[in-house]
Amino acid sequence: MPGALEGLTVIEFAGIGPGPFACMMLADHGARVIRIERPGRPGRFGDNGNTDILNRNRLVVELDMKDPAAIARVRELVREADAIVEGYRPGVMERLGIGPEVLLADNPRLVYGRMTGWGQDGPMAPLAGHDINYIALSGALHTYGQAGGKPQFPVNAVGDFGGGGMLLAFGVMAAVFSAQRTGKGQVVDAAMTDGAAILSAMTWSFYGNGTWKDERGVNLLDGGTHFYDTYETADGKWISLGSIEPQFYAQLLDKTGLKGDPEFARQMDPSAWGPLKEKVTALILTKTRDEWCAIMDGTDICFAPVLSLAEAPSHPHNAARGTFLTEGGMVMPGPAPRFSGTPAPVPKLASKPLD
């Protein structure tokens, strides 16, 4: 059965990180994504360990962009496409002769997706950077970490993927929807600084309403409380608790035996959070992770064990939903979200040459 994006054609200029992730999202759900690669890259078609999950479900054409014939081929492909995605610094595509003015003239309905860290304009637009820099400038990185400690970056999930690739995928599809109604394409300027900022919208809401201190590890959702945090267990593993609502908090106290301690009635009193966290920390250390799972699984405490990459795919919930799958010898996340009428095809890890 075809996916939800069957019939959509996207031209992808090979890159790393957020651009490929955006195109993976589109390809997972049935879009025909043609990836333009430099000639001679090994393993592009499944040989020699083609194991980049972000590049799954692709058709590939190898073109030397310094060759005028390659530029002509790109323009030929784009005339029949719905969108292109590129992740170069501002001005690179223009210097190649395939900037938005040229390609939108060739195909007025084209959506021209541009993925950068700083954006297409602004004083930092031409500079190099990485995820850690983009989320730093957006204010997001300042909010991640323990009280009194340094900022802790969440690998490259917030800039590259949440604030980058996912933002671009949404932008491309929004612009395609517009083009289908109006007949006019446009440029999508997806910047990871913008994306990281918008992912923090709720934090900004709390901050603007005076309920969020502009410091790390002292707030409701950043580890400042005793009821929303991770805790080490007796076997050196970890669990997560998120018992915010009163009814869930009551279950937490009941299952941990803390119900009789009157100090825990001060759930939303920030002055009590530090001492109460010390008590919860000491208590959780008395049992192994599996022992706490036996106590808390199946309740509304808002609990989950902190699973490693090796453990997560085999958890009964993930296994039941098929959250992970194995293809080409690699375990990988399956396509998401789920569609009831047009489920995503089973992904193929190896790329195929364009006919």
- Catalytic residue IDs: 130, 160
Distance CA 149, CA 147 (A): 5
* CA nearest to 230, candidates 286, 154, 289: 289
Sheet holding 238-242, edge to edge: 228-232, 238-242, 303-305
Per DSSP, the three-state class of 13 is strand
Task: State whether the Cα torsion 27-44-74-90 is positive or negative.
Answer: positive
What ranges in the chain are assigned the alpha helix state H? Answer: 18-28, 68-79, 92-96, 100-106, 131-137, 166-182, 192-199, 201-208, 246-256, 270-284, 289-296, 316-321
Question: What is d(CA 21, CA 55) in angstroms, rounded to the nearest whole number?
Answer: 8
Report the alpha-carbon distance of residue 216 to residue 300 in Å, rounded: 28
Burial-class residue 226 by CB neighbours within 10 Å (0-12, 13-18, 19+): buried
Q: Following DSSP, what letter does each residue of 187-207 receive, concatenated?
A: EEEEEHHHHHHHHTHHHHHHH
Report the distance separating Cα 260 and Cα 350, nearest Å: 58
DSSP letter assigned to residue 304: E
